[in-house]
Amino acid sequence: MKSMLFVFLGGGLGSMLRFGISQFFNTDFPYGTLLVNLLGSLLIGLFLGLFERQLITQTLLLLLATGFCGGFTTFSAFAAENLKLLETGHTAQFLVYSLGSLVLGVLMVLVGFKITKFI
């Protein structure tokens, strides 16, 4: 039950921050969602690396990675925004957004993980 509470708290905070960033940055292109997905990918890489090096506990990992990053990043919004780009004929933006999110997101997880090697 304690673990679920930490995931809940982290998820709520992450979701609120994601909402605020999306409200501020999303215009004719979903910059806010792209930003949170990339930043969230970097953060989860950092948190996983810190956990692997035993610099954070399992409980803190639940709060930060499972909870906060799970609430902060948003694949469902990503998918819906891609559909809208396709439906409105913005094929080039769809390709940039989809491929950029995938490739850069994976790269950011790697960078975050590698940063922890220097801590």
C-alpha to C-alpha distances, 67 to 56, 58, 83, 84, nearest whole angstrom: 15, 12, 27, 28
Closest CA to 41 of 94, 97, 104, 115: 104
Q: CA Rg, the chain, in Å?
A: 15
The two three-digit tokens of residue 113, written as one number: 């993980």
Residue 28 three-state SS? coil
Binding site as annotated, residues: 70, 73
Q: Which residues are annotated as a binding site for Na(+)?
A: 70, 73
